[in-house]
Structure 1
Amino acid sequence: MNTKRRESAFASDAHSVVVGPDADPEMLQFGSPKIRHKVWFAHITAATRAWAQRYLGFPAGNLVLNRWLQGKMGARSIERAGLPRHSLEAFLGARSLTLHIDPRSLIRNVEFLPRKVEKRPSSMAFIWDGPWDLRRDDLRIGTRYRFINDIHENRHQPERGEHFQELMAYIERGQPWSSPRQGILLDTPEKVKAYLGVYVSYLDDMAARGYVASRTRDDVGVAISREGRILKINRGLHRLAMAQHVGLHRIPVRVRAVHRIWWNEVTRGVSGLAALERMCAALRDCVAEQDPGPFDIEAAVSLPQDFWPTARVGQGQSSSKA
């Protein structure tokens, strides 16, 4: 959130709408003073996290990364710890870690178990150990793609759609759906229809203009498996589902992590800057994983060859322009 927007949010009185820290302009119409306290808490949480990263995380990460780059004492331990991700991303720059792929090829998502069941890799590290890449789910039958397909098929009669009925069920139970980070509350049928309509407009805009990277807050995140395959992780699932649905030819994805086994293989015998150069070169040969994982919780589903709808774009191109 920029300074003016943050100031306007904090200037609100007790009966006005508070803009969420991650609010999109199109979603401001769904704000409500009923959730202002939750939105304030979201602001405090976001501001605290940003402060800690800027004044603690980045400086410490830069010191550690520079020590590793220079091969100083402790460099091996730093690499074993996974390398500080944010500092490494800043050092390499976005272009080095960005791949352009067919969105319909990216169909496997890392399925993390609950933290109490299995320790997850640290989001602060760039190199991840463990079996995280062996448990996957199929994005074609996931909730985000079903949502996008549902709102498209029912765009003229949204009340017939599965997700309209789900959101209405929340209202009927007296617990309307809300997102404090977005600062929105869907507590009336009119709001639910309008909310789904916003996503339809996003979908149509992508079909008309392609993927405009500058309109998003963050990139579609991916990780590289032990076999050098691309797997989806964290944010950007709705955007990916839209790109798949309209049939864009290519979209940019940002590599957020790589598996230790793959890292060791492509950087064998070198460290520091030479290792990063080898890794960045090897990323260009990575392709999206198509197969289910050996540790998948649910059995693989057989889908027809013509599963994807007819593409709605001629030359849908990714772009970094507004």
Structure 2
Amino acid sequence: MPSLIQKALDWVPMRDFAAAHVGFTGRFNRATRRLDREGGPAILAAQAHFHFGEQLVIPVATKRLTTRLRDNISDRGQLRWIGTHFLDGSNWSRVVEPLDKSSSHAEIVELVETRQDFRAGARYQAYAERIRGGATVKRNRIALDTIDKLDNFFEYYLALIADIEKNGIVPHSDLGLRGQTGRRHRWTRTFWQDLAERDIGVAIGADGTLIRHTNGKHRMAAALTLGIEHIPVEIRLVHAGWLMRRSERLGLSPADALVATLEQARATGWPAP
């Protein structure tokens, strides 16, 4: 039986942490140049997160985010989850879609409109009808198989909306595990989801457009619907083609060009000049 220390070390991505600090910059620069020529993914997202840290978090005008990346991409005849890596040189044209195509986005829009009368909303009623018919509705990795669970699910996001309306989108570094809903309706999210929660994730597309990616779909929807003007986001994926052009324009290595661009964006907004 492995010891508690061994289990902890298995859980903490020690290899990624080490890889983020030993030879990372050289591998990152070589990978960017290769992906720009050949396409495909490189550099694990966890390694980039450990290496760049808070440098990846920038403020953006909320209205700039109008699209999202779908979770999976077809790459050389195979389907792969696009959230594993930090760099990608693939064609994203078929996996970028409007935010309002997301069920999570539509739920939040409906809740902002209906508030405490959420049971009158079309999406709530559709879920309720399915549950009364004996089906289980799977939302946010939680199985909703009773009306009470459905109500609590919607009430959880009502609390999220109320907090964002009062406080805006708070940087995750200021929140920890508390999130923006405190301890209310905690069963609607697993402990591991809270542990993995980060700032609203975005990808930088080949043309420099910011695209919502992975974390924060509900917070993003709430910010847009409530008219929150600026939000903190975390760069979670970068298109190699865009980064190579930034590298050439600035006369810097790809890694240095990314850091310089994000630093400028924190000062003057996105897109950085």
Normalised to the residue count of structure 2, the TM-score between the two structures is 0.70
| Alpha-carbon displacement from aligned partner over 1:70-100 (angstroms, at most 9, x marks no partner) | xxxxx73686373343223222221x21121
Alpha-carbon shift at residue 230 of structure 1 (Å): 0.9
C-alpha change, 1:274 and 1:175, in structure 2 (3 Å) is same
State how far apart, in whole Å, the 2-side matches of 1:79 and 1:62 are: 20
C-alpha change, 1:78 and 1:201, in structure 2 (3 Å) is closer
Instruction: Please tell me whether residue 223 in structure 1 is matched to residue 223 in structure 2.
Output: no
- After TM superposition, list the pairs within 5 Å mapping 1:119-130 onto structure 2: 119-120=79-80, 123-130=83-90
| Alpha-carbon displacement from aligned partner over 1:248-303 (angstroms, at most 9, x marks no partner) | 121011111211111111113999x8432222222426449xxxxxxxxxxxxxxx
Give the corresponding residue for 2:56: 97
State how far apart, in whole Å, the 1-side matches of 2:74 and 2:8 are: 21
Alpha-carbon shift at residue 134 of structure 1 (Å): 5.9
Alpha-carbon shift at residue 129 of structure 1 (Å): 0.8
What is the SS of the residue equivalent to 1:130?
coil
Gaps of 5+ in 1: 1-47, 70-74, 289-322
Amino acid at match of 1:256: R
Give the corresponding residue for 1:234: 214
Give the corresponding residue for 1:201: 159
C-alpha change, 1:120 and 1:260, in structure 2 (3 Å) is farther
Give the corresponding residue for 1:191: 149
Query: How many residues are paired up?
Result: 234
More strand by percentage: 2
Identical amino acids, percent of aligned pairs: 22
Amino acid at match of 1:111: R
Instruction: Please tell me whether residue 83 in structure 1 is matched to residue 43 in structure 2.
Output: yes
Amino acid at match of 1:278: A
Across the aligned residues of Structure 1 and Structure 2, the Cα RMSD in angstroms comes to: 3.6
State how far apart, in whole Å, the 1-side matches of 2:154 and 2:31 are: 49
- After TM superposition, list the pairs within 5 Å mapping 1:101-112 onto structure 2: 101-111=60-70
C-alpha change, 1:198 and 1:190, in structure 2 (3 Å) is same
Check conservation: 1:228, 1:286, Cα contact below 8 A. Answer: no
Instruction: Please tell me whether residue 277 in structure 1 is matched to residue 256 in structure 2.
Output: yes
More helix by percentage: 2
C-alpha change, 1:121 and 1:265, in structure 2 (3 Å) is farther
- After TM superposition, list the pairs within 5 Å mapping 1:6-25 onto structure 2: none
State how far apart, in whole Å, the 1-side matches of 2:102 and 2:140 are: 24
State how far apart, in whole Å, the 1-side matches of 2:84 and 2:205 are: 17
Check conservation: 2:204, 2:238, Cα contact below 8 A. Answer: yes
Check conservation: 2:33, 2:240, Cα contact below 8 A. Answer: no
Alpha-carbon shift at residue 106 of structure 1 (Å): 0.6
C-alpha change, 1:146 and 1:123, in structure 2 (3 Å) is closer
Normalised to the residue count of structure 1, the TM-score between the two structures is 0.61
- After TM superposition, list the pairs within 5 Å mapping 1:309-320 onto structure 2: none
Check conservation: 1:133, 1:225, Cα contact below 8 A. Answer: no
Alpha-carbon shift at residue 200 of structure 1 (Å): 1.3
C-alpha change, 1:266 and 1:210, in structure 2 (3 Å) is same
State how far apart, in whole Å, the 1-side matches of 2:100 and 2:13 are: 37
State how far apart, in whole Å, the 2-side matches of 1:239 and 1:195 are: 15
What is the SS of the residue equivalent to 1:276?
helix
C-alpha change, 1:123 and 1:208, in structure 2 (3 Å) is closer
Gaps of 5+ in 2: 1-6, 35-40, 181-196
Bigger radius of gyration among the two? 1
- After TM superposition, list the pairs within 5 Å mapping 1:243-282 onto structure 2: 243-268=223-248, 274-282=253-261
What is the SS of the residue equivalent to 1:100?
strand
Alpha-carbon shift at residue 145 of structure 1 (Å): 2.7
State how far apart, in whole Å, the 2-side matches of 1:188 and 1:220 are: 30
What is the SS of the residue equivalent to 2:134?
coil
Instruction: Please tell me whether residue 149 in structure 1 is matched to residue 149 in structure 2.
Output: no
State how far apart, in whole Å, the 1-side matches of 2:101 and 2:84 are: 30
Give the corresponding residue for 2:136: 176
What is the SS of the residue equivalent to 2:90?
coil
Alpha-carbon shift at residue 224 of structure 1 (Å): 0.9
Check conservation: 2:71, 2:214, Cα contact below 8 A. Answer: no
